[in-house]
Amino acid sequence: MNITVAGVKKEVADGLTVAQLIIDEKVETPIYVTVSINDDFISNDSFETTVLKEGDSVEFLYFMGGGR
């Protein structure tokens, strides 16, 4: 199936989960990553169970924060 990852169209295996995509894309420090699918943010707890669908657009956003 075809999905878009960070603006780039890709062909991936049917049934791919977000957790596997994070591995495949070699996402660094996934603990700090928030994932959106079609502009909806998903819970980090659901990476393993969220299965991507044809046409999905996925973005990885790195948490940015700090303090004085």
Partner 1 sequence: MITLAKEDYEKILAHAEKELPNEACGLIAGEKNGNDKIIKKVYLLTNIDHSNEHFSLDPKEQLAAVKDMRANGIVPLGNWHSHPESPSRPSEEDKRLAYDSSASYMILSLMDREAPVLNSFKISGSDAEKEELVIG
CB of 5 to partner 1, least distance (A): 12
Q: Is 47 in the site for partner 1 (CB under 8 A)?
A: no
Asked if 59 interacts with partner 1 (CB under 8 A), we say yes
8-33 as b/e, with b when 16 or more CB fall inside 10 Å? eeeebeeebebbbbbeebebeebeeb
DSSP state of 35: E
- Contact between 26 and partner 1 (CB under 8 A)? no
Q: Which is nearer to partner 1, 14 or 67 (CB)?
A: 67
**In whole angstroms, how close is the CB of 24 to partner 1 at the nearest point?**
20
